[in-house]
Chains A and B, each alone.
Chain A
Amino acid sequence: MKKNLLLLLFVVILTVIPFMMTHTVKEGQEAFSGADGQAETLITQIHPDYTPWFKPLWEPPSGEIESLLFGLQAAIGAALIGYCLGFYRGRKLA
């Protein structure tokens, strides 16, 4: 148990460190933007004439809806892990 708390602490530390550092933010970008989006920007810098030939069939209409779906994704995953662990723990204790 102690070991697991320590593991969680490591993750928290790794996640908090970036906030304590100073970063130079490139023009037109916000701090802590996504790497996927930065790669997209980089593509258009290297090949300014490249035009994407396919568009997503559906895009979340706002940042709120996007975070709703990301929240849903994490919730589904956590439910699966929690159900599995709870099921076997309950069976072991029974």
Chain B
Amino acid sequence: MHIMEGYLPVKHAIAWGIASTPFVVFGAYKLKRKMEEDPQAKLLLGASGGFCFVLSALKLPSVTGSCSHPTGIGLGTILFGPWIMTVMGMIVLLFQALLLAHGGLTTLGANVFSMAIVGSFVAYGVFRGLMALRLPFSVVIFLAAALSDMATYITTSMQLALSFPDPVSGFTGALAKFMAVFAVTQIPLALSEGFLTVLVMNLLRANASEAMRDARLLPKEVLQ
């Protein structure tokens, strides 16, 4: 989902930057407030960011014969809500843009939008929606993480198709081509992300349920 440095036309790069800024600014405010209100949540915030770091470093092979990586946004979103994770996602993307030449500064706005904003709001929407339907907690976590992962890559495909419409078939034609690269490859990886998110959530609930209750990170009924 990393759009490479310089690979978005100037106007598009600026527009995505403008679109992402308010989310990150409000996210930073929410993050600061959460840390003041519930300072004991710091370790769990670190673990949520850590999960993003690990998962976005794992280039996994896919059935399409290419490699891509999960995002890890789902776990933190379920614990901290979507706003705070926009900031954590941006930190991961900055690390990769500056040290790994993956993604870039000019494309940071677009990449933050797909991974940190769309990714976390989809995870949050799925989580809240399915919790309301009273589905088993692990099923909810799995779907929230996997669909968030898919949504990020579909967003990237749309961003690229908007910037580079096919000369013959236009936006739709280009979208189909970018989706073939990103979205299809991502399906098994999104499933893997779902399983890994359930795994880490199991470990957190087994060991840190008291801390999560004190810091008001999960609904009481799903904590032991």
- Number of interchain pairs (Cβ within 8 Å): 187
The residue in B2, B102, B200, B208 that gathers the most chain A C-beta atoms within 10 A of its C-beta is B102
Would you call A77 and B53 a contact (CB within 8 A)?
Answer: yes
Inter-chain CA distance A78–B203, complex, in Å, is 14
> Interface size on B (CB < 8 Å)?
73
Point out the residues of chain B lying under 8 angstroms from A4, CB to CB.
199, 202-203
Contact mask A37-64 → B, CB, 8 Å, 1/0? 0111011001100101111111110000
Instruction: Find out whether the CB atom of A42 lies under 8 angstroms from the CB atom of B177.
Output: yes
| A83 engages B46 (CB within 8 Å) | yes
Q: How far is A3 from B57 in the complex, measured between Cα atoms in Å?
A: 25
Name the residue of chain A whose CB is nearest to the CB of B59: A34
Which of the residues B5, B53, B61, B210 comes within 8 Å of A80, measured between beta carbons?
Answer: B53
CB contact under 8 A between A52 and B5, given known A24-B65, A73-B53: yes
Write out the residue numbers on chain A whose beta carbons fall within 8 Å of the beta carbon of B181: 35, 38-39, 42
How far apart sit A47 and B105, CA to CA, in the bound complex (Å)?
A: 22
Contact A33 B204, beta carbon cutoff 8 Å: no
Interface residues of B in 90-126 (CB under 8 A from A): 95-102, 104-106
Of chain A, the residue at the smallest CB distance from B212 is: A88
A15 to B195, CA, bound (A): 12
The interface on chain A, measured as residues whose beta carbon lies within 8 A of the other chain's beta carbons, has a size of 57
A54 to B109, CA, bound (A): 15
* Chain A residues with CB below 8 A from B210, complex form: 88, 92
Task: Encode B60-86 as 1/0 by CB contact (under 8 A) with A.
Answer: 111111111000000000000000000
**Can you list 21 A-B pairs, Cβ within 8 angstroms, ordered by A?**
A4-B199, A14-B192, A18-B64, A18-B188, A23-B64, A23-B65, A32-B67, A36-B2, A36-B68, A39-B178, A43-B160, A54-B105, A55-B6, A58-B101, A70-B57, A73-B56, A73-B96, A74-B53, A83-B43, A84-B44, A85-B47
Closest 10 A/B residue pairs (Cβ): A80-B50, A77-B53, A52-B6, A23-B65, A77-B54, A88-B208, A84-B47, A54-B6, A56-B101, A74-B57
Further 14 A-B residue pairs, CB within 8 A, beyond A39-B3, A57-B105: A15-B192, A21-B65, A24-B65, A34-B68, A39-B178, A42-B177, A42-B181, A46-B174, A52-B6, A73-B56, A73-B96, A73-B100, A79-B50, A80-B47
